[in-house]
């Protein structure tokens, strides 16, 4: 069992049969660098877990690409908007490197949720963990300065800076590339 498999099933305690049902329903897919995984105006049919690669989610606002999420190995890629509301998502997900992803269709997952109580609680825990992450990022975004957030980013995900171009980091931090340059110059 791969580290990714292990991470997926350790989200919540599962019975043997539930583990097999979940992992058995997943398949590995490969994408080239710069591939668009999700696009706006499409209802996304799959949930993905990143085995290898890096992903970026962004919205197209007034003439800008507004980056609001990065995913690396072990992270989940999921349009909750598209998934819950069964409407086209507002986000675009792009793969910044050649990537390998583990995927499972929403339809299959729904079937598993309605059959196995362990998997229903697994899905609950998954959503709850994602919610905490989003909530923490929201609070950080609103009440810390861009300088503090950049320092945190370096501390907590130092590899990200090396793998992602700074224009995307700037957008993610909610400042212009110029301001990010000034922040970086000031921290030296």
Q: Per CB under 8 A, does 143 bind a copy of itself?
A: yes
Q: Per CB under 8 A, does 167 bind a copy of itself?
A: no
- DSSP-based three-state secondary structure for 51: strand
Cα–Cα distance, 4 to 22 (Å, whole number): 13
Which is it for the CA torsion 38, 98, 108, 75, positive or negative? negative
Which of positions 35-64 make contact with a copy of itself (CB under 8 A)? 59, 61, 64
Cα–Cα distance, 113 to 21 (Å, whole number): 11
- Print the binding letters for residues 81-120 with a copy of itself: x by CB under 8 A, - otherwise: x-xxx----x----------------------xx-xx--x
**Tokens coding 119:** 């998997």
> Looking at 88, 111, 174, 177, which residue binds a copy of itself (CB under 8 A)?
174
Residues 6 or more apart whose Cβ sits within 8 Å of residue 19: 9
Q: Per CB under 7 A, does 178 bind DNA?
A: yes
> Looking at 10, 16, 142, 162, which residue binds a copy of itself (CB under 8 A)?
142
What residues pair up with 58 in beta bridges, in sequence order? 67, 92
Q: Per CB under 7 A, does 185 bind DNA?
A: yes
User: Which CB, 80 or 177, lies closer to a copy of itself?
Assistant: 80
- Give least dist CB 75 to DNA, A: 21
CA distances from 171 to 4, 19, 67, 167, 179 (A): 29, 38, 5, 6, 10
Q: Per CB under 8 A, does 123 bind a copy of itself?
A: yes
Pick one of a copy of itself, DNA, none as the site partner of residue 53 (Cβ within 5 to 8 A by kind).
none
Q: Which of 118, 151, 135 lies closest to 11, judged by CA? A: 118
What residues pair up with 64 in beta bridges, in sequence order? 61
Pick one of a copy of itself, DNA, none as the site partner of residue 27 (Cβ within 5 to 8 A by kind).
none
**Contact (Cβ atoms closer than 8 angstroms) between residue 52 and residue 102:** no
Q: Give residues in contact with DNA (CB under 7 A).
A: 145-147, 165-167, 174-182, 184-185
Binding site for a copy of itself (CB under 8 A): 59, 61, 64, 66, 68, 80-81, 83-85, 90, 113-114, 116-117, 120-121, 123-125, 127-132, 134-139, 141-143, 174
């Amino acid at each position: 069992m791969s580290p990714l498999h292990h991470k997926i099933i350790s989200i919540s305690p599962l019975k043997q049969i539930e583990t097999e049902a979940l992992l058995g329903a997943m398949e590995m897919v490969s994408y080239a660098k710069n591939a668009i995984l999700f696009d706006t105006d499409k209802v996304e049919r799959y949930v993905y877990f990143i085995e290898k690669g890096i992903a970026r989610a962004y919205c197209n606002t007034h003439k800008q690409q507004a980056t609001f999420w990065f995913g690396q190995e072990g992270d989940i890629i999921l349009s909750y908007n598209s998934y819950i509301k069964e409407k086209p998502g507002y986000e675009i997900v792009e793969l910044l490197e050649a990537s390998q992803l583990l995927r499972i269709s929403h339809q299959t997952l729904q079937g598993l949720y309605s059959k196995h109580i362990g998997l229903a609680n697994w899905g609950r825990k998954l959503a709850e963990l994602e919610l905490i992450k989003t909530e923490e990022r929201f609070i950080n975004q609103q009440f810390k300065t861009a300088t503090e957030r950049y320092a945190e980013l370096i501390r907590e995900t130092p590899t990200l800076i090396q793998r992602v171009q700074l224009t995307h980091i700037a957008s993610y931090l909610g400042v212009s590339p110029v301001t990010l340059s000034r922040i970086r110059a000031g921290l030296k």
